[in-house]
């Protein structure tokens, strides 16, 4: 299980990117409750690692690409692995 402090870092990274939990959930094809569990530190290590990896990829996207991806996720689309 993840430590709450470590998982809180994930939530902070998501916020800095400007994404809601709902956007991340849609983009990753996960239920919002799963994203919450990951950020709360009660999800599996595998889920945590996947989420962490995706945050890293998203952080590497240019701002315009990130905005397009978040907009598509807001409409129910999945993130593209560009």
Total-model pTM: 0.86
**Structural domains in the chain (count):** 1
Which value, in Å, is the radius of gyration of the alpha carbons in the chain?
Answer: 12
Alpha carbon distance 35, 27 (integer Å): 11
Per-residue model confidence as pLDDT tens digits over 43-76: 999 999 999 999 999 999 999 999 999 999 999 8
Whether 80 is in a domain gets the answer no
Range of the domain at 52: 4-74
Whether 24 is in a domain gets the answer yes
Alpha carbon distance 4, 62 (integer Å): 29
Whether 79 is in a domain gets the answer no
Whether 51 is in a domain gets the answer yes
Per-residue model confidence as pLDDT tens digits over 11-51: 999 999 999 999 999 999 999 999 999 999 999 999 999 99
CATH number for the domain harbouring residue 39: 1.10.260
């Amino acid at each position: 299980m993840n430590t709450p402090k470590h998982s809180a870092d994930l939530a902070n990274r998501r916020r800095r990117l400007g994404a809601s939990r709902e956007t991340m959930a849609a983009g990753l094809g996960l239920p919002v409750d799963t994203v919450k569990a990951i950020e709360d530190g009660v999800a599996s290590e595998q889920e945590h690692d996947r989420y962490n990896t995706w945050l890293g990829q998203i952080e590497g996207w240019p701002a315009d690409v990130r905005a397009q991806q978040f907009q598509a996720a807001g409409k129910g689309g999945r993130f593209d692995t560009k």
